């Protein structure tokens, strides 16, 4: 995640020094903790949170088990990892589903935080989990807020309940619950109005809605890019309304990330979901342990597996294996795999999930240009079906036509064809068994075929 890049680099550099020492003195631990403290403060983590965190780590790290262990540096990193998980929120916190449907979720927050968009994102995510959501338009003040929710509902094919701008939001919310009961919706997500700042009028209305529909979950939508302001807003809403959780938006943004680390410790409210992009499927359940692992350069294999399971079709994968074994892999198959890989997100973010990449400067500095995917797609799509299935027929005249049609060069077309043949051989070795890594090293390593 771009948001934690600077913090991750600083912490990983600190721990690399610790790993290099055979024994640790108390002075070594103190110096490391000083660097951790500075890194967290520079990442805009709340100062009291930083102080408490460093004290807890130090208290554990100066114990006998550290100095007498065989790998004291790794022991300190283990302690930091455990305390970081506890700080960010411990275990994953899920929406509490009511035993008597519908489950009512009230979304609150300041204007511009992304409540309406995240109402749709959350509805979409919960539908994938088997729910039948109803979105409710209770923001009667912001121009076009109702229309925005209706458009999102149409895009996702999720129903939206509205009564126009001249109705009381409390009455709209109550009527929506009745509508859900009579139409079989087991999840109601209420989009409420926000203000540019917290005021009595806003809180008064939200309290009335809360009293009338008794939501099972009150979730605050807050912008991670606002840093400590996000933490302060969360604290204020929690004191007034009693929050059940937080949806932290723009967690993929290029900022310091202090809000994600501070908010649970300051407010006591868990982050339940993270907004990680503009698309309507760009929302993820928040996993404190996975975030801590990524910050400390330990990767996030579980998230990588989940993304792969969502993106890749099991039947297609079996068919692909059969084709590789029989040397029947075509450029059409490769294009299909490429498109599935693209659906998992930017390659750079996938690389971050692989253990060791975060702390490996050589790997981290590899420039992964996602636009290259587009060039490869253009080249393959400029081929005839016969050429995709049998690239051997592509001679110079055909290369020239393909290059012209794809807006690339003859050299790029040739390079793709050559590397595709290398990839076919490599995949056959992989599926056939044997020590692929040794074979790969002898050949100078593996490359994506573009």
| Residue 87 pLDDT greater than 70, yes or no | yes
Structure tokens at 279: 């698309």
Under the banding of pLDDT at 50, 70 and 90, the label for residue 362 is: very low
**More confident of the two residues 297 and 138:** 138
Please name which of 304, 403, 320, 411 lies closest in space to residue 356, comparing C-alpha atoms.
304
**More confident of the two residues 341 and 369:** 341
Please name which of 263, 308, 301, 306 lies closest in space to residue 285, comparing C-alpha atoms.
306
pLDDT of 313-341, one tens digit each? Answer: 666 666 666 666 666 678 877 777 776 66
Contacts of residue 198, defined as CB under 8 A and 6 or more positions apart, other chains included, come to: 110, 233, 236, 237, 240
Contacts of residue 265, defined as CB under 8 A and 6 or more positions apart, other chains included, come to: 46, 49, 52, 87
- Supply the pLDDT for residue 440: 41
- Supply the pLDDT for residue 210: 94
- Paired residues of 275 in beta bridges: 283
Angle (CA) 124 130 131, round 5°: 65
Contacts of residue 99, defined as CB under 8 A and 6 or more positions apart, other chains included, come to: none
Structure tokens at 225: 């890019």
pLDDT of 136-185, one tens digit each? Answer: 999 998 878 899 999 999 999 999 999 988 889 999 999 999 999 999 99
For residues 187-212, average pLDDT: 90
- Supply the pLDDT for residue 70: 52
**More confident of the two residues 117 and 438:** 117
DSSP classification of residue 255: S
Q: Hey, how many other C-beta atoms are within 10 angstroms of the C-beta on 406?
A: 21
Q: What counts of helices (H) and strands (E) characterise the chain?
A: 22, 8
Q: Hey, how many other C-beta atoms are within 10 angstroms of the C-beta on 154?
A: 11
- Supply the pLDDT for residue 373: 74
What is the H or E stretch that residue 53 is in?
helix 47-61
pLDDT of 209-258, one tens digit each? Answer: 999 999 999 999 998 888 788 888 899 999 999 999 999 888 776 566 77
- Supply the pLDDT for residue 444: 40
Please name which of 1, 105, 10, 3 lies closest in space to residue 359, comparing C-alpha atoms.
10
pLDDT of 264-286, one tens digit each? Answer: 888 889 999 988 888 898 898 98
Under the banding of pLDDT at 50, 70 and 90, the label for residue 302 is: low
For residues 78-91, average pLDDT: 86
Beta-strand ranges (E) seen in 201-336 are 217-223, 245-249, 271-275, 283-285
pLDDT of 91-137, one tens digit each? Answer: 788 899 999 999 999 999 998 889 999 999 999 999 999 999 999 99
- Cβ atoms of 107 and 190 within 8 Å: the answer is yes
Q: How far apart are the first and last CA of the chain?
A: 25
Cβ burial, residue 335 (10 Å; 0-12/13-18/19+): middle
Long-range contacts for 167-173 (Cβ within 8 Å, ≥24 apart)?
A: 167/140, 169/138, 169/139, 169/140, 169/193, 169/205, 169/208, 169/209, 170/205, 170/208, 170/209, 170/212, 172/136, 172/137, 172/138, 172/140, 173/136, 173/138, 173/209, 173/212, 173/213
Beta-strand ranges (E) seen in 234-363 are 245-249, 271-275, 283-285
Structure tokens at 131: 């729910």
- Supply the pLDDT for residue 434: 43
Please name which of 281, 270, 258, 274 lies closest in space to residue 126, comparing C-alpha atoms.
281
User: Going from the N-terminus, what domains does the chain have, and what CATH number goes with each?
Assistant: 2-88 (1.20.120.140), 103-297 (3.40.50.300), 304-442 (1.10.260.30)
Angle (CA) 240 145 286, round 5°: 55
Q: Please tell me the pTM assigned to this model.
A: 0.67
**More confident of the two residues 370 and 112:** 112
Under the banding of pLDDT at 50, 70 and 90, the label for residue 448 is: very low
């Amino acid at each position: 995640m771009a948001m934690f890049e600077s913090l991750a680099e600083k912490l990983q550099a600190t721990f690399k020094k610790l790993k290099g020492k055979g024994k640790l003195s108390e002075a070594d631990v103190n110096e490391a903790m000083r660097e951790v403290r500075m890194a967290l403060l520079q990442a805009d983590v709340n100062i009291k949170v930083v102080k408490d965190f460093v004290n807890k780590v130090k208290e554990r790290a100066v114990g006998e088990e550290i100095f007498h262990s065989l790998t004291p540096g790794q022991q300190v990193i283990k302690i930091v990892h455990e305390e970081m998980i506890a700080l960010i929120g411990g275990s994953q916190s899920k929406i509490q589903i009511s035993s008597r449907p519908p489950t009512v979720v009230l979304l609150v927050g300041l204007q511009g935080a992304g409540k309406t968009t995240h109402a749709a994102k959350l509805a979409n995510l919960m539908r994938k989990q088997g729910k039948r959501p109803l979105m409710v338009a209770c923001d009667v003040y912001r121009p076009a807020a109702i229309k925005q929710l209706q458009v999102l509902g149409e895009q996702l094919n999720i129903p939206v309940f509205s009564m126009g701008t001249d109705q009381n939001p409390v009455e709209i919310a109550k009527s929506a619950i009745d509508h859900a009961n009579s139409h079989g919706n087991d999840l109601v997500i209420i989009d409420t109005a926000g203000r540019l700042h917290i005021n009595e009028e806003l809180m008064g209305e939200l309290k009335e809605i809360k009293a009338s529909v008794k939501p099972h979950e009150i979730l605050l939508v807050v912008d991670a890019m606002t840093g400590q302001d996000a933490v302060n807003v969360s604290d204020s809403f929690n004191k007034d309304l009693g929050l059940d959780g937080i949806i932290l938006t723009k967690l993929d943004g290029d900022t310091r990330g202090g809000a994600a680390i501070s908010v649970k410790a300051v407010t006591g409210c868990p982050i339940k979901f993270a907004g990680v992009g503009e698309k309507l499927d760009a929302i993820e359940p928040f996993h404190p342990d996975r975030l801590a692992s990524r910050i400390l350069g330990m990767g996030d294999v579980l998230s990588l597996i989940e993304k792969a399971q969502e993106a890749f079709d099991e039947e297609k994968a079996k068919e692909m294996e059969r084709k590789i074994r029989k040397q029947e892999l075509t450029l059409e198959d490769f294009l299909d795999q490429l498109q599935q890989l693209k659906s998992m997100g930017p390659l750079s973010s996938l690389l971050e999930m692989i253990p060791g990449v975060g702390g490996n400067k050589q790997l981290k500095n590899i420039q992964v240009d996602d636009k290259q995917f587009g060039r490869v797609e253009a080249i393959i799509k400029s081929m005839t079906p016969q050429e995709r299935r049998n690239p051997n027929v592509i001679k110079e005249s055909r290369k020239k036509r393909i290059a012209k049609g794809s807006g690339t060069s003859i050299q790029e077309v040739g390079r793709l064809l050559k590397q595709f043949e290398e990839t076919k051989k490599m995949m056959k070795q992989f599926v056939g068994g044997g020590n692929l890594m040794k074979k790969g090293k002898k050949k100078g390593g593996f490359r994506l075929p573009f």
